[in-house]
Chain A
Amino acid sequence: MSQEIDAILLEDARLSLDELARSCRVSREWVIEHVQWGLLQNENLIGADPNVWIFDSRSFVRIKRIVAIERDFECNPELAGLVADLIEEVELLRTRLKASGPNES
């Protein structure tokens, strides 16, 4: 079966709190708590009504990552957040390293 469909970027899809929670298989409350603890790095959401929260690609990837780390290692949210920070940093540095040429990578 084959069909052609248009890709919609999350930036244009306006992913809501409920959609995000369902997609990552966590509860609405889980996401709200993690946002309020600052673990999702969405400082702009803190204080706003969760019903109007919109999530972008970066938050989506980060939340998925934190969900997996908390689940696989049964660790506390702060540790999962710290690991996610480090993974993001490593990703950035690895891209730079790769681009600096074969001699240095």
Chain B
Amino acid sequence: MEFKDYYKTLDISRDATADEIKKAFRRLARKYHPDVSKETDAEQKMKEINEANAVLSDPEKRAAYDQLERQGFQAGNDFQPPPGWDAGFEFTGQGFSDAQTADFSDFFSQLFKNQMGAGTRHARQMRGEDHHAKIMLDLEDSYHGTTRSLTLRMPKLNNQGHTILVEHTLNVRIPKGVHAGQVIRLAGQGGPGHAGESPGDLFLEVHFKPHQRYRIENKDIYAALPVTPWEAALGATVKIPVPDGLVDVRVPENSQTGRKLRLKGRGIPATTPGDLYLVLEVVLPSATTEKAREFYQTMAQELAFNPRQNLGV
């Protein structure tokens, strides 16, 4: 286990004031906000920032951590907390919630394992905490349903009554019809209950991996439908693969690029299924052969056509 430099994580000096810590945390929380940030590792960074802030913004934990550093531990060192390292420190804060600490590093959980879960162990709230996570699906999963294996770090109470993190694999059967932004609730799969009370629930936010061909908007799917100029002009029936198979689509005559064809009910299946929209894209044959050039020249001569007419030229 590596010793972590929380000051470096927050990019502050070792004598930073409480106010400077708060400012540094907010600055980084803005930079790495997982919903907005363009940084690729924003989510991981945000976890590290939260962890550093959880320690440094709490005077008692900060003092205990500082003492370890004075004992000569440095970032990257292999680290085991010396026995009784936290003797003399009273952690009076309300502790961390299990769900928060599940995101934190092994280093953190080793150091503060006696405080983990402390927030949930007071008498009034004995039910286990709810946990929140994300699940990434493929578009095809929502058409057919699937079973996904999830590995989560879950806090568990050990024999000494301490909370420890254990890896936990769940095989979740995803129903067909699931769409982005939906939340799955797995009853009883959250944090453990205390004193015989029921465990919390696990909530999974559904996300879809970006798909090369399809764009998903709620229950509707959008895909490009490339057509030839003559198919667009004269009308045609074309074959195209869609998420649930092959379909024959009628392209109306006199169509242009951008025209949307709606296949009702062929979007994500549900009680009220979504629609599938095919957006026409007229593709021109390249004029690299003599024959092709002749055709284009004939069109130029025979068709009086000016696409810039309404631009006044």
Closest to B281 in A: A101
With an 8 A cutoff between CB atoms, is A72 at the interface?
yes
Q: Is the CB of B185 within 8 A of A10?
A: yes
Across the interface, do B187 and A72 meet the contact criterion of CB distance under 8 Å? no
Complex Cα spacing A65 to B34, Å: 11
Separation in Å of the B189 CB from the closest CB of chain A? 7
Contact A64 B132 (CB under 8 A): yes
Stretch at the interface among A27-35, A42-50, A92-100: A92-100
**Which of B25, B185, B217 has a CB less than 8 Å from the CB of A8?**
B185
Tell whether, in the assembled complex, residue B186 and residue A7 are in contact, meaning their CB atoms are under 8 Å apart.
yes
A52 at interface (Cβ–Cβ under 8 A)? Answer: no
Closest CB in chain B relative to A85 CB, distance in Å = 12
Cβ of A76 to closest chain B Cβ, rounded Å: 15
Q: Which residues of A, 1-26, contact B by the 8 Å Cβ criterion? A: 1-11, 13, 15, 22-23, 25
Q: Does A87 contact B (CB under 8 A)?
A: yes
Q: How far is the CB of A6 from chain B (nearest CB, A)?
A: 5
Report the interface size class on chain B.
35 or more
Say how far B165's CB is from chain A's closest CB, in angstroms. Answer: 14
The yes or no answer to B204 lying at the interface (CB within 8 A) is yes
Distance in angstroms between the alpha carbons of A1 and B170 in the assembled complex: 8
Give the chain B neighbours of A65 by CB distance below 8 A: 35
Pairwise interchain contact B171-A3, C-beta atoms closer than 8 A: yes
- A90: CB under 8 A from chain B? yes
Contact A72 B26 (CB under 8 A): yes
Contact flag A5-B169 (CB < 8 Å), given A22-B130, A25-B97, A98-B215:
no
Interface: B116 (CB within 8 A): no
Known: A72-B29, A95-B216. Contact between A7 and B36, CB under 8 A? no
Complex contacts, B178 vs chain A, CB 8 Å: 7, 9
How far apart are the CA atoms of A92 and B35 in the complex, in Å? 12
Main secondary structure of the interface of A (DSSP, over half): helix
Chain A positions within 8 Å of B149 at CB level: 2
List of B residues within 8 angstroms of A37 by Cβ = none
B175, CB-defined interface residue at 8 Å: yes
**B122 at the A/B interface (Cβ < 8 Å)?**
no
* Given known A-B contacts A9-B175, A61-B205, A72-B29, A3 and B182 have beta carbons under 8 A apart: no
Q: List the A side residues contacting B215 at CB < 8 Å.
A: 95-96, 98-99
- For residue B8, CB closer than 8 A to chain A, the reply is no
The proximity string for B residues 217-234 relative to A, scoring 1 for CB distances below 8 Å and 0 otherwise, is 100001010000000000
- Bound: A7/B172 CA distance, A: 6
Q: Is the CB of B175 within 8 A of A7?
A: yes
Q: Is B147 in contact with chain A by the CB < 8 A criterion?
A: yes
Q: Does B210 contact A (CB under 8 A)?
A: yes
Q: Are B203 and A60 in contact (CB under 8 A)?
A: yes
Given A23-B201, A72-B29, A87-B35, CB of A5 within 8 Å of CB of B173: yes
Which residues of B does A touch, CB under 8 Å? 25-26, 29-30, 35-36, 97, 127, 130, 132, 147, 149, 168-175, 178, 181-187, 189, 201, 203-206, 210, 214-217, 222, 224
Can you list 8 A-B contacts with CB-CB less than 8 angstroms, sorted by A residue number? Answer: A5-B189, A6-B172, A7-B204, A9-B183, A22-B127, A60-B203, A72-B29, A99-B214
